[in-house]
Structure 1
Amino acid sequence: MYRSVLQPSNTVPVANDLALAQRGLPRRKALSLAVASLLSLACAQAAAQAGQGADAASSPAADASDRTEVVTVTATRRREPIRDVPLRVETISTEALERSGAASLTDYVGSLPGVHVESDGGPGRGQVNIRGVGVGGLSAPTVGIYIDDVAFGSSTGFVGEAVSSLDLSLLDLHHVELLRGPQGTLYGAGAMGGLLKYVTNDPDPSGLSGKAGVAVRQSRKGALGHTEHAVINAPLSEGVAALRVAAFNEHDGGFLRAVGPAAGKHVNDGDTRGMRLSVLLDPSSKLRMRLTATQQDIERDGTVIAQYDARTGQPLHGDLTQFLYRPEPYSIRTGVLSGTVEYEMGWARLNVIASSQRFKAKTALDATDIVGGEGLNFAGLDNDTKLRKRSAEVRLTSSRGPIEWLAGYYHTKETGSRYQRLFAQLPDNSEMDFVTSGQPSTFQENAVYGDITWNPSAEWSVTVGARNARNRQLYGTVTNGVKDFESGGKEGSKTYLATVRYSIDKTSSVYFRAASGYRPGGPNPPALDQDGSVVPGAPLTFDADELWSYEVGYKADLMDRRLFLELALFDIRWDKLQQPVAFGVTTLTGNAGKAESKGLELALRYKVNDDFSVDGSLAWTDAKLTEDAPALGQSGARLPNTAKVSASINARYDFDLAGKRAWAGAGVRRVGQRNAGFDSPQTSIPYFSVPGYTLVDAQLGVDVDGWEVGAFVRNLTDKRALSGADTALTAFGGPLRATPVQPRTVGLSVARAF
């Protein structure tokens, strides 16, 4: 989103402003196999229609021997096996992530089929896009982010970098959950595309335990990086209370070089440090309390950005090279304090969650190419973003039975600010400000939600749910130290959910799901012309955008539970898209157009035998505008950053090596062509075709008397590719800012648990 003089979006946030500056019967088993065959055939036909060479994306964590087991998920607000959940849910084990060398959010989920992480320069600066629900640019989020039961980040687009998805290090995580499709009923604002949930390990009062490890890694043409991590779990009172402390330190050696006045090697190097302290009190079988504090700091000397020619798609300054007049360092500091109480009352379970979080980010952008470098050393745009968020939630969940229900109340209050400075350094090293802008904002929401499930028989289950939310907002701007605008508003939003699930037998089921989601609207500043006069007719507010998703799916454990199959077909209808709209020399947020995303997703996990397993997945996504959106494109235009077809295959083999337990794994993932922006002269997000690519990863490890020794290679063939591209500056004569895929990276790790 753009606001007033400077744009608070953190995807090259200067476009307009720099321009201004310049259950088990045989019959059921047969039916289950028939459904599997028919749906697999439909999947194959859809993939063939979408074209050969699947746009693939694979989970680096694809560990079939782990994922074919019964996995319990919590993101549905109930504890239930993944195959009983009537929607597409994926869980990624932290152990598998560590073995694969995953180091950031892009590694965790960005290579899953139908999922895109839109990065703006490196770890901590990106948003997750699921099933094509996004129009490009880091505006208000479309995917909810949670740490356990705590919502992270801003619900609006006013706070710049605070709308980025949490890029949490592997800091004593148990697993990561990804829910596809809108989760507005249970999770509210911003979860219209899906939900990403980090699930941490609970302290264990039963005994002393811990784990420590070190790793080294190096990318081709890069510097040496290293990681150290440790966790210790200590009972405070055996069986009653425990303390768990985890610490993490990572140095990224960097792999980009810079030419120009700010030349250097490995300019995107930096550090990520984190710590979590958690105390659990479990005095009885009914009462459980937990207090957790998490802190993470990301510091980078530069961004993972290289300049490309938007017409040819070729790098402007050489392989893995930036041209910089000034460095572009950034830092992101995140702190979350949360407390939970859980009480089993027999007829229902009570959960009370309270949290407080602080977010601070500082970013720097080299703006010389747009402002012009004549008579200057450089021009720059600095951003300082702060967010404080507090939330509280009370939830009752009934016990199991013919009628089950869930009811909750949620409250959140956010206070945000963003300070931006567009300036130049003169030849005598003094500095001159072009413009400064402060953008304070507040957001407060109260919501009640709930659902009810009817289980008329062992085979059938029907759920309906709803959420009613009311928010109050305040947003203002301060230009060059003078307060020039402040506006508030109120808004109400309702979301709904309905699911029907039928168990074909004890190991397979089909389901239908209809659900809605939304993003909050908000106030706009006055639109100004070249002379600073107010432009009449500009929208003073923008509305919430909304969508409905319809999904049918099939889940089954087949072939004596050796094969787990998931298949989902979905159709998402999105209305009143939020988008940047120009009025005079100001860019506001408006609502216009409609979009649809329809597709098919398939996941297969096959355990060939006790030692060998294969994991494959595929997604076909057709996301496009279905009504003209003047600031974006015409009806029929593809939505950005979503490949039509994506697929992956991974294999793992467990074996004995000199009497020691060992394993080896390999995976191939292909990401197909995507559009960055829209091919329209009036668009606010210019077009660029991002080529597809194929990557190969491999892992190898052995357990030697309790010491786990591993090695991994990511991007084995050293493929040059772009994971994404930001076109915001190309309309103003600037270069395309592209994010290259990390070159071949080799790593070694040693860890010991006790």
Structure 2
Amino acid sequence: MMLDHKRHLMVRASALALLGSITMLAPSQSWAQDAGPAAPEDADAPAGGLGDIVVTASRREATTLSTPINISAIGGDELSKRGVTNFQDLSRAVAGLVYNSASIRDGGASSFIIHGLNLDGVSTGGERPQATVAPVSVYIGETPAFVNIHLADISRIEVLRGPQATLYGNASIAGTLRVLFNEPDPTKVTVDASGNVGATAHAGGQNYSFDSAVNLPITSNLAVRVAGGYTFDHGFIDAPAFYALESDGKPVLADPSDPIHSLPVPKSRKNVNDSELSYVRGMLKFEEGPVRLLATYQHQYEHSDGPDQDSYPGGPAPTAFSSVGDVGAVPAFQNDNFDNVFPHEFDEYETGAFIEQPLTRKVDLGSLEASYDFGFATLTSVTSAYETDSSAVNDSTAGYQKTLGYFYAGYPRILVPSTRDYNEKAFIQEVRLVSASDTPLTYSLGGFYMNQRSHLTSTDYNMGYDDYLTALGAFHTGTDVGYIYERQMRFTDLAAFGELTYHVTSAWQVTGGARVFRQKLDITAINALPICGSACSQDGLDPFGVTSATDRQKKTKVLFKVNTSYEFGNQMLAYFTFSQGVRRGGASGIPTTGTFAEDPAFQFYNPDSVDNYEVGLKGRVGRQFEFTAAAYWVDWKNPQVNVSTPNGGFPAGVNGSTARSLGVDLEAHLLVTEELSLNATYGFNNSKLTGPIVVGGRDYGGDGAKLPGTPHHTASVSANYDKPLASGLILNAQANVSYRSGISTSLTPRSNVDLPGFAIVGASIGISKEAWRLSLYGDNLADVRGVLSAQSLQSTDVRGINNRLSRPRTIGLRFNVFYR
């Protein structure tokens, strides 16, 4: 891992040096302020008015106000002004979009929630994908893959709420998020450079970042654009009591002469959650008459020393690390002095973890878009592929001691590092034919193919346990490997889709859509308990305690969409949408025989589906006010949820019966004066189970239970003020506040924590002049300790509470330089 880390540092340094050299070589005259790439003008926008963003969600260019679905869009210049560089910042600016992850570490899987469609507990974050498919699909450019992408050199981000199966895949049961980059421009040389340096409260050093994008015309119809950057965020979590470790990872004994009763040796460390991200992206674009080609490749590297989590406030002694708390161990816990040596109460921003928890992730994405405009329609082919590879270590000690301590014979130095290695790769091909929009009858037709493979290996060790059993004179299997979970999946999806729109009048349109798909899923899941041996195996003989399950699912289904809208004059649009979505099922591979035998009901889970009903109104009042409003109702059948099995705590996917979600999404934009504009969002959601989840006799959620992770209320308000000064200078000021009400973290009462709501305030002030912008910014100015997720004391020891946190108050300087 260390060599790999150094290699990526060299790649990052080389990329930044190249970008910096190009920046320095660029001519120093003819600078102009960047407002993002030119977009088609909204013909209905009054001169000097707000004007809404041009989007391509419908596979045609249209403004957000003229697109008859529940959609939000934010342009790249607005993202830059607000300092939005990650998905958590983005979620505070979009009505109804929830993101419960906190840092680079959580970028292994989509943690987005739209319209409350989530049953999974939010305490584990998005470090790695679950077996079930995320309910919100994410497209990076034209590639359907979630990447915790650094939001720089972005043209716009589109958030499509509700199932988008017709045009964006069947797995999109809650919505789709699209991240679209600035494309190469063959008409001029451009250079963008930006960066910031800042300090975070409770951290021991500075944060800094640098991003650059260079656009170079090659011929009159061919251009290349290269973007790259590096971000370092200094850690703000302290560890008061790590274990001191031997070179082989086993705990150092405080009393080497007594391997049965000796405690480990504590040591402290500051700022254990430093993180860094680097990326380089190249794009090549060719346009000649009706032909358009766009090739894109991005490599991203991420590293985190540990999660943004604390264990505040801890709890009283005796804890699970004592003969009183660890009821049932034989012999009893062998050193009741543990709570005196290792703290059980913690200050804010202190973790109870015992070891470092590094994560390294590499992501590669590539795509080739080719299109030909026949006049009556445009034929587009998109070929894309991606691969993501990650390796992480998690401290699972506290959870093991709380739930399985009885199994480990009173071991007083329990230490369970969990190593998690994940690889996913996919090839995707899509072809679509989109008609011109100047006829009463328009259509979008296409075909889609995906071949996706993933491999997860998770291994838990109880370090030094075998030596302890040897000293105790007890039976042992000769290994510290406690548990291995391996999951391999191969998924193929072949689909045909289409939308047909008839413009009954110039103001009234009706759209019908369908997607027919055939899917095949092959999944193998293996659980092994080497530390337990043959007693825990499927056949009672395997010395590694192996159990396994294999499943092959084939499914053919048709999903439908109906949409209609009516335009009242040129300023108001009302619409109704009915749409469907579905997710595939799978297998869990849990043991059904042996010491930790589980009910066979946990072995497999079925597909789930939604029916979504939505009405909306959007429009413009005069030249100063724009708004969108939508109300929705979602029926969810057989909803999938990831759980831990009752006997051994194995990961398993199961199905509930029914759930429903209803709510509203509101957004408004007001141009108070030519210099001052206001933006506001509000989302209300009420989502709950409408039938219980009972599997194998265990209750995982009762009828009427609130779905976890989604606040009832989310809101944000932002103000932008741009005041011309003397000598061509412009004063730029911006302020924003976002609020989310409280959430529950799990459907299961034993695992649930009811978290309070919180508000985050940010602001910036600066000056700009044609070629540059400089601003002083502050994020989370009130230094609010925003808790995004937490673990229950009923399921873990106090040292594993693991509150996932928003970043504390951060103040710094941000600069932007443009060459046009």
TM-score under structure 1 length normalisation: 0.84
SS of the residue corresponding to residue 538 of structure 1 reads: helix
Give the counterpart letter for 2:674 in structure 1: D
Residue 250 of structure 2 is matched in structure 1 by none
2:278 maps to 1:273: yes
2:751 maps to 1:710: no
Question: Residue 676 of structure 1 contacts residue 690 of structure 1 at CA under 8 Å; is this kept in 2?
Answer: yes
* Residue number among 508, 521, 539 corresponding to 1:460 in the alignment: 508
Name structure 2 gaps, 5 residues minimum: 1-46, 122-129, 244-267, 317-343, 406-410, 469-477, 531-543
* Residue number among 326, 332, 349 corresponding to 2:361 in the alignment: 332
Separation in structure 2 between the aligned mates of residue 110 and residue 424 of structure 1, nearest angstrom:
41
Separation in structure 1 between the aligned mates of residue 371 and residue 700 of structure 2, nearest angstrom:
47
Separation in structure 1 between the aligned mates of residue 677 and residue 646 of structure 2, nearest angstrom:
57
2:653 maps to 1:623: no
Give the counterpart letter for 1:266 in structure 2: N
Residue 127 of structure 1 is matched in structure 2 by 111
Q: What are the Cα deviations for residues 68-103 of structure 1, in whole angstroms up to 9, with x where unaligned?
A: 323111122222111111112111222222333333
Question: Residue 390 of structure 1 contacts residue 414 of structure 1 at CA under 8 Å; is this kept in 2?
Answer: yes
Report the Cα offset of residue 733 of structure 1: 4.4
SS of the residue corresponding to residue 678 of structure 2 reads: strand
Report the Cα offset of residue 331 of structure 1: 1.5
Separation in structure 2 between the aligned mates of residue 434 and residue 275 of structure 1, nearest angstrom:
40
Residue 212 of structure 2 is matched in structure 1 by 230
SS of the residue corresponding to residue 186 of structure 1 reads: helix
Question: Residue 548 of structure 2 contacts residue 591 of structure 2 at CA under 8 Å; is this kept in 1?
Answer: no
Question: Residue 519 of structure 1 contacts residue 545 of structure 1 at CA under 8 Å; is this kept in 2?
Answer: yes
2:623 maps to 1:561: yes
Residue 322 of structure 1 is matched in structure 2 by 351
Residue 188 of structure 1 is matched in structure 2 by 169
Separation in structure 1 between the aligned mates of residue 791 and residue 666 of structure 2, nearest angstrom:
30
2:269 maps to 1:264: yes
Which structure would you say has the larger RCO, counting Cα contacts within 8 Å and 6 or more residues apart? 1
Separation in structure 2 between the aligned mates of residue 366 and residue 341 of structure 1, nearest angstrom:
47
SS of the residue corresponding to residue 166 of structure 2 reads: helix
* Residue number among 119, 142, 147 corresponding to 1:149 in the alignment: 142
Separation in structure 1 between the aligned mates of residue 212 and residue 587 of structure 2, nearest angstrom:
46
* Residue number among 440, 447, 465 corresponding to 1:402 in the alignment: 440
Give the counterpart letter for 1:70 in structure 2: D
Residue 668 of structure 2 is matched in structure 1 by 604
Residue 261 of structure 2 is matched in structure 1 by none
Residue 537 of structure 2 is matched in structure 1 by none
Q: What are the Cα deviations for residues 633-692 of structure 1, in whole angstroms up to 9, with x where unaligned?
A: 2121111111112222111111124430121011121111111113546xxxx2111101
2:804 maps to 1:739: yes
Give 1:444-459 correspondences, 5 Å limit: 444-459=492-507
Give the counterpart letter for 1:628 in structure 2: P
TM-score under structure 2 length normalisation: 0.78
2:502 maps to 1:509: no
SS of the residue corresponding to residue 700 of structure 2 reads: coil
Separation in structure 1 between the aligned mates of residue 346 and residue 170 of structure 2, nearest angstrom:
42
Give the counterpart letter for 1:590 in structure 2: V
2:740 maps to 1:671: yes
* Residue number among 699, 703, 717 corresponding to 1:649 in the alignment: 717
SS of the residue corresponding to residue 595 of structure 1 reads: strand
Q: Which moved more, 1:485-494 or 1:403-412?
A: 485-494
Separation in structure 1 between the aligned mates of residue 296 and residue 49 of structure 2, nearest angstrom:
28
Q: Kindly tell me: are residues 171 and 102 of structure 1, through their superposed partners in 2, closer, same or farther at Cα, counting changes over 3 Å?
A: closer
* Residue number among 752, 757, 768 corresponding to 1:687 in the alignment: 752
Give the counterpart letter for 1:345 in structure 2: F
Report the Cα offset of residue 726 of structure 1: 4.5
Residue 290 of structure 1 is matched in structure 2 by 294
Separation in structure 1 between the aligned mates of residue 233 and residue 166 of structure 2, nearest angstrom:
39
Give the counterpart letter for 2:89 in structure 1: D
Q: What are the Cα deviations for residues 421-441 of structure 1, in whole angstroms up to 9, with x where unaligned?
A: 110332999982112232221
SS of the residue corresponding to residue 807 of structure 2 reads: coil
Separation in structure 2 between the aligned mates of residue 447 and residue 347 of structure 1, nearest angstrom:
24
2:32 maps to 1:70: no
Give 1:10-49 correspondences, 5 Å limit: none
Residue 79 of structure 2 is matched in structure 1 by 97
Name structure 1 gaps, 5 residues minimum: 1-64, 153-164
Give the counterpart letter for 1:644 in structure 2: H
Give the counterpart letter for 1:746 in structure 2: I
2:567 maps to 1:574: no
Q: Kindly tell me: are residues 584 and 434 of structure 1, through their superposed partners in 2, closer, same or farther at Cα, counting changes over 3 Å?
A: closer
Give the counterpart letter for 2:685 in structure 1: T
Residue 658 of structure 2 is matched in structure 1 by 594
Higher strand share: 1
2:563 maps to 1:499: yes
Aligned length: 667
Separation in structure 1 between the aligned mates of residue 120 and residue 48 of structure 2, nearest angstrom:
35
Q: What are the Cα deviations for residues 410-456 of structure 1, in whole angstroms up to 9, with x where unaligned?
A: 00011110111110332999982112232221111101110100001
Separation in structure 2 between the aligned mates of residue 503 and residue 120 of structure 1, nearest angstrom:
41
Separation in structure 2 between the aligned mates of residue 67 and residue 490 of structure 1, nearest angstrom:
53
Separation in structure 1 between the aligned mates of residue 372 and residue 315 of structure 2, nearest angstrom:
61
Q: What are the Cα deviations for residues 224-258 of structure 1, in whole angstroms up to 9, with x where unaligned?
A: 011111111111112x1011111111111122112
Report the Cα offset of residue 531 of structure 1: 3.0
Separation in structure 1 between the aligned mates of residue 207 and residue 786 of structure 2, nearest angstrom:
22
2:605 maps to 1:542: yes
Question: Residue 528 of structure 1 contacts residue 584 of structure 1 at CA under 8 Å; is this kept in 2?
Answer: no
2:475 maps to 1:475: no
Separation in structure 2 between the aligned mates of residue 746 and residue 67 of structure 1, nearest angstrom:
33
Q: Kindly tell me: are residues 86 and 382 of structure 1, through their superposed partners in 2, closer, same or farther at Cα, counting changes over 3 Å?
A: same
Separation in structure 1 between the aligned mates of residue 49 and residue 736 of structure 2, nearest angstrom:
15
Q: What are the Cα deviations for residues 150-179 of structure 1, in whole angstroms up to 9, with x where unaligned?
A: 100xxxxxxxxxxxx421102321111111
Q: What are the Cα deviations for residues 21-77 of structure 1, in whole angstroms up to 9, with x where unaligned?
A: xxxxxxxxxxxxxxxxxxxxxxxxxxxxxxxxxxxxxxxxxxxx9993231111222
SS of the residue corresponding to residue 627 of structure 1 reads: coil
Q: Which moved more, 1:403-412 or 1:521-530?
A: 521-530
Q: Kindly tell me: are residues 111 and 557 of structure 1, through their superposed partners in 2, closer, same or farther at Cα, counting changes over 3 Å?
A: closer
Residue 376 of structure 1 is matched in structure 2 by 413
Q: What are the Cα deviations for residues 315-334 of structure 1, in whole angstroms up to 9, with x where unaligned?
A: 94111111221111111211
Question: Residue 71 of structure 2 contacts residue 159 of structure 2 at CA under 8 Å; is this kept in 1?
Answer: yes
Report the Cα offset of residue 533 of structure 1: 5.9
Separation in structure 2 between the aligned mates of residue 296 and residue 529 of structure 1, nearest angstrom:
43
Question: Residue 376 of structure 1 contacts residue 424 of structure 1 at CA under 8 Å; is this kept in 2?
Answer: no
Separation in structure 2 between the aligned mates of residue 599 and residue 109 of structure 1, nearest angstrom:
17
Report which of the two structures shows the higher radius of gyration computed on alpha carbons: 2
2:304 maps to 1:304: no
SS of the residue corresponding to residue 323 of structure 1 reads: coil
Q: Kindly tell me: are residues 381 and 438 of structure 1, through their superposed partners in 2, closer, same or farther at Cα, counting changes over 3 Å?
A: same
The share of aligned pairs that are identical, in percent, is 23
SS of the residue corresponding to residue 325 of structure 1 reads: coil
Residue 432 of structure 1 is matched in structure 2 by 480
Question: Residue 310 of structure 2 contacts residue 802 of structure 2 at CA under 8 Å; is this kept in 1?
Answer: yes
Separation in structure 1 between the aligned mates of residue 765 and residue 691 of structure 2, nearest angstrom:
50
Question: Residue 325 of structure 1 contacts residue 377 of structure 1 at CA under 8 Å; is this kept in 2?
Answer: no
CA root-mean-square deviation: 2.5
Give 1:161-176 correspondences, 5 Å limit: 165-176=146-157
Give the counterpart letter for 1:359 in structure 2: T
Separation in structure 2 between the aligned mates of residue 573 and residue 198 of structure 1, nearest angstrom:
28
Give the counterpart letter for 2:284 in structure 1: V
Separation in structure 2 between the aligned mates of residue 131 and residue 751 of structure 1, nearest angstrom:
36
Give the counterpart letter for 2:200 in structure 1: S
2:191 maps to 1:210: yes
Give the counterpart letter for 1:133 in structure 2: L
Question: Residue 242 of structure 2 contacts residue 269 of structure 2 at CA under 8 Å; is this kept in 1?
Answer: no
Q: Kindly tell me: are residues 87 and 504 of structure 1, through their superposed partners in 2, closer, same or farther at Cα, counting changes over 3 Å?
A: same
Separation in structure 2 between the aligned mates of residue 251 and residue 85 of structure 1, nearest angstrom:
39
